Amino acid sequence: QVRLVESGGGLVQAGGSLRLSCAGSGRSFANYYMAWFRQAPGKEREFVAVINWFGTITYYGDSVKGRFTMSRDNAKNTVYLQMGSLKTEDAAVYYCAAGPEMADYRYWGQGTQVTVSS
């Protein structure tokens, strides 16, 4: 069982940066793929990024490539999403997720709101 808690959301101007954190509890945190998703009002949930167990492999959604960076610190049971060059269309609730395999996400956080002003 893994419990996930996101933090770091808030209001930022377009072009600015923000770093999200997702703290996990549970002994097996380092054994999970970790991912970020987002969902804006009226839109479907969108994949943002995923990272493997050791933090050596990452994949990003096309809409955030080159602007967002995902990392993890297994000693702190935490993953991060560094977001840069933010656009108004990046505004959403951001969720982190954990799973034993990529795309098999069994645990989800409660989400953190990101608002981007123009």
pLDDT of the residue at 29: 81
Ramachandran bin of 77, using left for φ above 0, alpha for ψ from -120 to 50, beta for the remaining angles: left
pLDDT for residue 27 is more than 80: no
Task: Report pLDDT for 30.
Answer: 85
Contact 6, 114 (CB under 8 A): no
- On whether the CB atoms of residues 45 and 38 are closer than 8 A, the answer is yes
Residue 104 per-residue DSSP state: B
Q: What is the mean pLDDT of residues 42-70?
A: 97
